[in-house]
A and B are shown apart, each in its own frame.
Chain A
Amino acid sequence: MNATLEDRLRHHYDERTRDIPHHGPGLEDGAVLRINPGLSEPRPHRAARVALVIGTVAAATVLGLLVLNRPTDNVPAVGSGGSSPLSSTDPAQALAPAATLPNGGDVSETPVTVAGTAPTDWYRLQPDLDVAWYQVPSGQSPTMLCWRTPVGSECLADDYPGALPLIVPTAGGQTLVVTGVTDGKTTLDVQLASGAILTAPIVVDDTISWGVARYQLPEGDSITSVGTASVNPGVADKVPGQTLPATVGLNDTPLTIPAGSELSYWRWFADLDISERQTAAGGTELCWRTPAGTGCIDDSFISPEVGIIPTDGGAILLARPALIEISPAPTDPLAPKFEQGPPPTTITVTLSDGSTVTADINYGDQFGVGYARVTLAAGVTVASAASS
């Protein structure tokens, strides 16, 4: 098994610092040393952090490749939500084409991009799916990717980020999803407009390494996203109301994305997805998705400020330690001017009906932000909250 980049980094650092002793010069012989546990075995938080960073990498792969697949033994795709209809085709058995394309003279044995203004040399990817590429000789236009099935045809510009995954209708009410990267995986998930997630086997073409997954969608439904269905239920936490539906394409770790990027969610709890995004002004916003809706809050809250996120039947409250100004201010130019205060332990919430409740703050290992929950009666909202 290949070592992950994170493991290679740790090994590299360990090797480079191998000769540095565990104590400084000048200590008396026989002194009892208390070595930083972070530098000696065991490293209690490493496993979780390795998982976190591996998740980061996986998430980056999601963003980069657009198309994800899933291990063969993960069937069917099931998200954490309890409110979503889930179904799947049998991943072990692909649907058969309902009709096939005729063997015309324009079908080529090899996939080629031809110079021209229309597709001429089609490549048979499936019995009911041909693809073809052409480019206008001037070179100024992008390569065009065309498809044809028994029920229709279309050509698309294949410029960045590319036309894949390609979703095409075919005979018998079936839908084909063409993926460019299969990475050895054998099934592919799609999410439908109805919220259902379908899983189907990928049939890989040996010549061009593209994969095709075949789905029978319910009448009137359509595919809204392609990727890997999340099997991550989020951090275990008692959810007072509805949970979020299963979804395709969740990140495996919270990831701050550049300003202007499309939100890229990570499932924190069964009723909360978050997406951190930089803002054009240079800050960071924390965008949330719960059964109660979606929104974004400024991510700069520090104690006593609290981030408030409504959810079904209550609210999720977020808190971070305060930054305390070091006083008197150090004159040392290398010294910090602020330091992190102790983590707040409780949140006091003032409700819209005038009552006050307090909640204990929990700190998980994955996200570095404390959270608490309050349940709310119908019609009552959080008016204000402060951590201490």
Chain B
Amino acid sequence: MTSDTEPGHAGDRTWIAELYEREWSSLVRVAFLLTSSRSTAEEIVQDAFVRLQTTRTTVLNPAAYLRTVVVNACRDVHRHQAVVARNPPPAPEPAIAEHDEMFDALARLPWRQQAALVLRFHVDLAEPEIAAALGCRPTTVRSLVHRALATLRKDLSE
């Protein structure tokens, strides 16, 4: 549990540093896969840690809390990009210039399906954990993953 009123939790440099060490890379990878921007991903994750450290609430699982914040932030970026896409798009970063068949197929999926695939196949989360991050039921996660795989399989002509 975290609380900025409790010693040794939020506000405690050791506690937040350990969480940072343990989760930073995983969270940046998730954010990068969902935004296709390394700088945006790092910014989102940094911001998530700041939000966690400054929250005045109590949570059982800080890592899950962070993950939800990151996924929600990525969703906001995605929505923003959808608006930007109506105008002349900015030049892609080098990291995402190397599009391939899989990249393009994934990009065509609905955002929630993309997020479910990343959390399932890259982070190896269980369905209940993915559900918590996406704010849906575990059974919905299963449907999201199943439909995403079916679409990919069709698009990639497997």
User: Interface segment, A1-9, A153-161, A186-194, A208-216?
Assistant: A1-9
Task: Give B27-60 interface residues, CB cut-off 8 Å to A.
Answer: 28-29, 32-33, 38, 45, 48, 51, 55-60
Give the CA-CA distance A106 to B118 in the complex, in Å.
Answer: 58
Q: Does B108 contact A (CB under 8 A)?
A: no
CB-CB under 8 A from A53, the residues of chain B are 145, 149
Does B142 lie at the interface of the complex (its beta carbon under 8 Å from any beta carbon of A)? yes
Q: Judging by beta carbons under 8 Å apart, are B32 and A339 in contact?
A: no
Determine if A284 and B25 form an interchain contact, defined as CB atoms under 8 angstroms apart.
no
- Dominant secondary structure of chain A at its interface with chain B: loop
- Interface residues on chain A, size class: 35 or more
Q: How far is the CB of B131 from chain A (nearest CB, A)?
A: 8
Q: Which residues of B contact A328 (CB under 8 A)?
A: 56-58
Asked if B69 contacts A321 (CB within 8 A), the reply is no
Complexed CA–CA distance, A340 and B127 (Å): 12
Q: Determine if A60 is an interface residue (Cβ-Cβ < 8 Å).
A: yes
Report if A23-B25 is in contact (Cβ < 8 Å); known contacts: A45-B124, A332-B55: yes
Residue of A at shortest CB range from B128? A368
Q: How large is the interface on B (under 10, 10 to 19, 20 to 34, 35 or more residues)?
A: 35 or more
Known A9-B117, A23-B21, A328-B57; contact A17-B29, beta-carbon cutoff 8 A: yes
**Which one of A27-35, A163-171, A226-234 contacts B?**
A27-35
Residue of B whose beta carbon sits closest to that of A328: B57
Q: In the complex, are the beta carbons of A340 and B132 less than 8 A apart?
A: yes
- Contact between chains at B128 and A35 (CB < 8 Å): no
Q: Is the CB of A256 within 8 A of B122?
A: no
B-facing residues in A290-338 (Cβ within 8 Å): 299-300, 320-321, 324, 326-330, 332-336
**Contacts between chains A and B (CB distance < 8 A), count:** 168
Q: Are A12 and B102 in contact (CB under 8 A)?
A: yes
Expressed in whole angstroms, the Cα–Cα distance for A24 and B50 within the complex equals 14
B84 within 8 A of A: no
Judged by a CB distance under 8 angstroms, whether B137 is at the interface is yes
In Å, the complex CA distance between A56 and B153 comes to 12
For A332, the chain B residues whose CB sits under 8 A away are 51, 55, 69
- Docked-complex contact B25 and A20, CB < 8 angstroms: yes
Q: Which residue of B lies closest to A14 (CB)?
A: B122
Nearest B residue to A37, CB-CB: B124
A336 touches B65 (CB 8 A): yes
B26 touches A36 (CB 8 A): yes
Complex CA gap A57/B106 in Å reads 17
- Say yes or no: A43 contacts B124, CB within 8 Å: yes
Instruction: Report B1-18 CB contacts with A as 1/0, cut-off 8 Å.
Output: 000000000000000001
Q: Quick check: B102 and A324 within 8 Å, CB to CB?
A: no
Residues of A within 8 A of B120 (CB): 49
Complex interface: chain A residues within 8 A of B45 (CB): 24
Q: Is B79 an interface residue (CB 8 A)?
A: no
Of chain B, the residue at the smallest CB distance from A21 is B25
Q: Give residues of chain B (59-84) contacting chain A, Cβ–Cβ below 8 Å.
A: 59-61, 64-65, 68-69, 72-73, 76
- A368 x B60 contact (CB < 8 A): no
Contact assessment for B65 and A339 in the assembled complex, using a CB-CB cutoff below 8 Å = yes
Q: Contact at A23–B24, with CB atoms within 8 Å? A: yes
Quick one: which of A38, A299, A324 contacts B139, CB cutoff 8 A?
Answer: A299
In the assembled complex, the Cα of A336 lies from the Cα of B66 at a distance in Å of: 9
Q: Which of B48, B125, B137, B152 contacts A38 (CB 8 A)?
A: B125
Cβ distance A40 to chain B, nearest Cβ, rounded Å: 9
> Is B111 on the interface with A (CB-CB < 8 A)?
no
8 A-B pairs closest in CB distance:
A24-B24, A13-B122, A38-B124, A336-B68, A36-B26, A334-B72, A17-B29, A284-B139
29 A-B pairs within 8 Å (CB atoms) are namely: A5-B158, A6-B121, A6-B149, A8-B102, A13-B118, A13-B121, A14-B122, A16-B103, A17-B32, A19-B38, A20-B29, A20-B32, A22-B25, A33-B22, A35-B25, A36-B26, A39-B122, A39-B123, A49-B120, A49-B124, A57-B149, A276-B142, A299-B137, A333-B72, A334-B72, A335-B51, A335-B68, A340-B64, A342-B60
Listed in ascending order, the chain A residues whose CB lies under 8 Å from chain B are: 5-6, 8-10, 12-14, 16-17, 19-24, 27, 31-36, 38-39, 43, 45-46, 49, 53, 56-57, 60, 254-256, 276, 278, 284, 299-300, 320-321, 324, 326-330, 332-336, 339-342, 368
Known A5-B152, A335-B72; 4 more pairs at CB < 8 Å: A56-B145, A334-B76, A339-B132, A368-B126
